[in-house]
């Protein structure tokens, strides 16, 4: 009987020879296939182990551990100088214009009196431009003065980042004014010098160029000659250099304040991933580290691969690497909620972060922990985005402003109902069209000096409200004019004068609406313009600041402080993500200024757009089919008693 050990050894020997000493084509193919499978398995295993994005991150824990921002300390320090280099390529014209019209314009640091400062600059960093795009990029450079073309072939590897740092070591500067002495005593060359001009529109911090070059007769605008100073514009190296991707939205004012309270030297700031590297969406290096990288031969030899993981390897070569300050920001840097990444969650504001910290102090109930998916998942729970699930709004009939509110962590202003009014019947306050839309010949607008229709209106009869920039038409009171108005028109105007702006209909209790519609005080349908079948309604005119609602909302969300919120939102792969982020973080009050036209664009005639299921866009929801006159106090009292 054969020995079983010899049989097993024989089988293993034959298998080894077949795999590692194949002779026939089939055995050669099988051997190569097994080797390839083994290498692939080992590679995928190593990649899985090293991958930091295997599961959603406990961002709630990060925010709970977040130290309060030292606002008083930051206010006591002078602003720091920063250059942000946005890595992009020559063909991304739309992306560059989107950045220019959003955070690069509307999030700049401002002085105490609200004027933009010159201490933060944004530059688009390109490699060598292809011939097909050269002319257009050159025109863009001339038009906007914000593009840097590096002397290297275009690439998105670490080599481009190092080339940017080499450029920034010498050229990352911001302009400043250097005092040269009193204007009346200045004896040097006056060319390219400045004196203050408080009435100059725009310019560098409201300082205007003195084109007269006359030492003895300086500009008469401003203070007396003895108090005037002459200045020279010069350049100063920045304190920090920021490398950013072109799918990253940066709130520049918040970024500057975070860097302001960081050490000025030997600082590496960003979102620390696995205690290994700062996330490549945006990170900052103090200028001394940038200078060292630019002159490091070791960095030049290893300038390849992913730049975000390569940068800490470069810094590890620094002779004083143990003294480098790694400053990490985990709470206020995150991915867009539609990014579906481990870093994605809803948009954050300080008021909700305070609620998250309150949860840590008081703890969650067992029911809430179970609802959030258990102890582990509770710390990565988001009310907006779900892990490995495509984002979808809580309802399909939301206007744009309602959908944006639903993307805010915690649910936004209309959590639960998700619309302005609880039953979702209307998102606007409706007004009879005839009360707010006038024809050119409307008698209610005709000044006393114009007695016939079609005549030109005198300039003296049209006023101007300076704050809004809107013209003022019509007399203060029609009854005080001497115009001859037909009796029929007077009756029509009397009926129109009885109308009032409608309140939000859907906010009324249903019992109250039914009770009011059946009261004896209700006007007859043929006399009440609101009950007529052909009555037309429009939302009340909406200004960009929503009659101050946006300012009060901003104050509440930021806990009555001007700063302290989101710094960076990453993974904005689509243009719609940019508009969503800008509208949520900046608001219509800033973005409507980008629109075409004059000051009239700051008022909206319709409601917030709504995209129907068939793709059709309407300006808000449809007007109500039946509208009710404002409820009288007597009817309200009866309704309250009925409900009770």
Q: What is the mean pLDDT of residues 282-300?
A: 97
Q: Do 206 and 248 have their domain in common?
A: yes
Within-domain flag for 367: no
Mean pLDDT calculated for residue range 555-570: 96
pLDDT higher at 190 or 641 = 190
User: Does the residue 207 lie in any domain?
Assistant: yes
pLDDT over 50 at 483, yes or no? no
CA distance 360 to 576: 35
Tell me the three state secondary structure of residue 142. helix
pLDDT at residue 288, as a whole number: 98
Tell me what pLDDT residue 398 has.
92
User: Coil, helix or strand for 641?
Assistant: helix
Tell me, yes or no, whether 149 lies in a domain.
yes
SS3 content of the chain, % helix, strand, coil (to 5): 40, 15, 45
Choose among 134, 39, 144: nearest CA to 86.
144
Express each pLDDT in 47-102 by its tens digit.
Answer: 666 666 678 999 999 999 999 999 999 999 999 999 999 999 999 999 999 999 99
Q: Of 10 and 259, which is predicted with more confidence?
A: 259
What does the block give as tokens for 590? 């800033």
145 within a domain of the structure (yes/no)? yes
Which of the two residues, 204 and 353, has the higher pLDDT score?
Answer: 353
Highest mean pLDDT among 38-52, 401-415, 586-600: 401-415
More confident residue, 114 or 313: 313
Residue 451 clears pLDDT 80, i.e. is over it: no
Q: Which is more confidently placed, 368 or 424?
A: 368
Decide if 34 is inside a domain.
yes
Task: Look at residue 523 and tell me whether its pLDDT is greater than 70.
Answer: no
- According to the model, what pLDDT value does residue 452 have? 64
Q: Encode 608-619 in three state secondary structure.
A: CEEECCCCCEEE
Tell whether 235 is covered by a domain.
yes
CA-to-CA separations, 223 to 179, 198, 228, 429, in angstroms, rounded: 16, 9, 6, 51
The pair of structure tokens assigned to 272 is: 């620390």
Best CA proximity match to 98, nearest among 594, 608, 604: 594
Last-in-domain residue among 261, 296, 331: 296
Judge if 40 and 148 occupy the same domain: no
- What is the extent of the structural domain holding 93? 81-252+279-296
pLDDT at 528 over 60: no
The pLDDT tens digits for 224-234 are: 444 678 888 89
pLDDT over 50 (residue 507): no
Shared domain check, 171 and 93: yes
Residues 29 and 178 in one domain: no
Q: How many CB atoms lie within 10 A of CB 641?
A: 9
Q: Look up tokens 């009032």; give the residue.
A: 500
The residue-averaged pLDDT of 14-38 equals: 71
Q: Which of 503-512, 530-539, 581-590 has the lowest mean pLDDT?
A: 503-512
Lowest-confidence pick of 43-52, 130-139, 288-297: 43-52
Residue 365 confidence (pLDDT) above 90? yes
Whole-structure pTM value: 0.80
Which is more confidently placed, 444 or 561? 561
Q: What is the rounded average pLDDT of the residues 277-298?
A: 97
More confident residue, 569 or 204: 569
Q: For residue 211, is pLDDT > 60? A: no
Number of domain units in the chain? 2
Q: 22 and 143 in one domain?
A: no
Average pLDDT over residues 473-489: 50
Confidence of residue 366 (pLDDT cuts 50, 70, 90): very high
121 and 164 part of one domain: yes
Structure confidence at residue 31 as a pLDDT band (50, 70, 90): confident
Q: Is pLDDT at 344 greater than 70 in this prediction?
A: yes
pLDDT for 506 equals 38
Please give the share of the chain, as a percent, with pLDDT higher than 90. 52
pLDDT of residue 619: 86
Describe the crossing of helices 93-101 and 131-144 by its angle, rounded to 10 degrees. 10
Residues 21 and 122 in one domain: no
Residue 497 pLDDT greater than 80, yes or no: no
Q: What is the DSSP string of 476-539?
A: S-GGG------HHHHHHHHHHHT--PPP-GGGS-HHHHHHHHTSTTPPPTTT-GGG-TT--EEE
Gap between the Cα atoms of 340 and 269, Å rounded = 25
Interatomic CA distance for residues 438 and 440, integer angstroms: 7
Tell whether 136 and 186 lie within a shared domain: yes
105 and 214 in one domain? Answer: yes
SS in 3 state form for 57-98? CCHHHHHHCCCCCCHHHHHHCCCCCEEEEEECCCCCHHHHHH
Closest by CA to 332, choosing from 517, 116, 149, 69, is 69
pLDDT at 394 over 50: yes
Domain-located, residue 114:
yes
Q: Mind spelling out the 3-state secondary structure of 346-380?
A: CECCHHHHHHHHHHHHHCCCHHHHHHCCCHHHHCC
Q: Are residues 242 and 159 in the same domain?
A: yes
Q: Are residues 13 and 149 in the same domain?
A: no
Whether 466 shows a pLDDT value over 80: the answer reads yes
Q: Which residues pair with 270 in a beta bridge?
A: 328
pLDDT at 203 over 80: no
Q: How far apart are CA 224 and CA 233, in angstroms?
A: 22
Whole-number Å distance between alpha carbons of 107 and 94: 19
Question: What's 36's DSSP letter?
Answer: H
Mean pLDDT over the full length of the chain: 81
Residue 425 pLDDT > 60, yes or no?
no
**pLDDT value of position 632:** 44
The predicted model gives 385-392 an average pLDDT of: 92
* Radius of gyration of the chain measured on its C-alpha atoms: 33
Of 380, 267, 287, 377, which Cα lies nearest the Cα of 329?
A: 267
Residue 342 belongs to a domain: no
103 and 26 part of one domain: no
Residue 109 per-residue DSSP state: -
pLDDT at 345 over 90: yes
Q: Which of 354, 337, 405 is nearest to 553 (CA)?
A: 405
């Amino acid at each position: 009987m054969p020995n079983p050990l010899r049989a097993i050894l024989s089988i293993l020997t034959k298998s080894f020879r077949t795999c590692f000493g194949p002779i026939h084509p089939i055995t050669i193919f099988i051997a190569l296939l097994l080797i390839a499978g083994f290498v692939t398995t080992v590679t995928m295993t190593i990649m899985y182990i090293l991958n930091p994005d295997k599961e959603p991150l406990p961002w709630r824990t990060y925010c709970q551990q977040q130290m309060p921002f030292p606002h008083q300390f930051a206010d006591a320090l002078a602003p720091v100088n920063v250059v942000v280099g946005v890595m992009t390529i020559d063909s991304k014209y739309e992306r560059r214009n989107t950045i220019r019209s959003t955070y690069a314009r509307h999030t700049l640091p401002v002085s105490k009196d609200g004027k933009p400062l010159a201490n933060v600059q944004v530059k688009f960093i390109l490699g060598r431009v292809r011939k097909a795009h050269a002319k257009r990029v050159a025109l863009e450079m001339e038009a906007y003065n914000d593009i840097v073309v590096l002397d290297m072939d275009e690439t998105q590897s670490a080599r481009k980042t190092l080339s940017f740092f080499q450029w920034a070591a010498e050229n990352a500067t911001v302009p400043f004014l250097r005092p040269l002495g009193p204007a009346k005593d200045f004896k040097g060359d006056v060319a390219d010098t400045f004196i203050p001009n408080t009435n100059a529109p725009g310019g560098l911090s409201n300082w205007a160029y003195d084109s007269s070059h006359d030492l003895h007769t300086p500009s008469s605008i401003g203070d007396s000659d003895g108090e005037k100073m002459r200045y020279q514009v010069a350049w100063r190296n920045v304190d920090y250099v920021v490398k950013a991707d072109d799918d990253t939205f940066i709130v520049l004012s918040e970024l500057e304040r975070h860097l302001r309270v960081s050490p000025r030297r030997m600082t590496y700031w960003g979102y620390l991933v696995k205690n290994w590297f700062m996330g490549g969406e945006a990170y900052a290096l103090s200028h001394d580290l940038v200078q060292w990288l630019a002159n490091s031969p070791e960095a030049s030899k290893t300038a390849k691969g992913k730049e975000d993981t390569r940068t800490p390897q470069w810094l590890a070569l620094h002779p004083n690497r143990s003294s480098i300050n790694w400053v990490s920001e985990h709470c206020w840097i995150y991915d867009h909620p539609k990014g579906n990444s481990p870093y994605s969650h809803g948009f954050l504001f300080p008021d909700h972060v305070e609620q998250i910290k309150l949860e840590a102090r008081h703890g969650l109930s067992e029911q809430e922990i179970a609802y959030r998916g258990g102890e582990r998942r509770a710390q990565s729970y988001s009310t907006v985005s779900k892990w490995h699930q495509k984002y979808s709004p809580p309802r399909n009939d939301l206007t744009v402003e309602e959908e944006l509110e639903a993307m805010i962590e915690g649910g936004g202003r209309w959590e639960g109902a998700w619309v302005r009014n609880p039953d979702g019947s209307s998102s606007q306050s409706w007004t009879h069209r005839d009360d707010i839309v006038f024809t050119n010949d409307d008698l209610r607008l005709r000044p006393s000096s114009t007695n016939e229709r079609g005549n030109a209106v005198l300039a003296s009869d049209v006023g101007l409200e300076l704050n809004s920039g809107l013209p003022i038409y019509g007399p203060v009171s029609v009854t005080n004019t001497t115009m001859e108005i037909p009796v029929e028109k007077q009756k029509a105007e009397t009926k129109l004068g009885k109308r009032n702006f409608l309140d939000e209909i859907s906010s009324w209790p249903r019992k109250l609406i039914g009770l009011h519609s059946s009261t004896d005080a209700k006007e007859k349908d043929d006399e009440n313009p609101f009950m007529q079948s052909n009555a037309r309604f429009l939302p009340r005119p909406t200004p960009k600041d929503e009659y101050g609602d946006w300012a009060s909302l901003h104050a509440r969300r930021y806990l009555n402080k001007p700063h302290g919120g989101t710094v960076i939102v990453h993974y904005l792969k689509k243009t719609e993500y940019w508009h969503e982020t800008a509208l949520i973080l900046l608001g219509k009050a800033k973005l409507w200024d980008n629109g075409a036209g004059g000051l009239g664009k700051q008022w909206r005639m319709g409601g917030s757009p709504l995209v129907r299921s068939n793709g059709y866009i309407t300006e808000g929801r449809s007007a109500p089919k039946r509208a009710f006159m404002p409820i009288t106090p007597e009817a309200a009292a009866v309704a309250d008693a009925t409900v009770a």
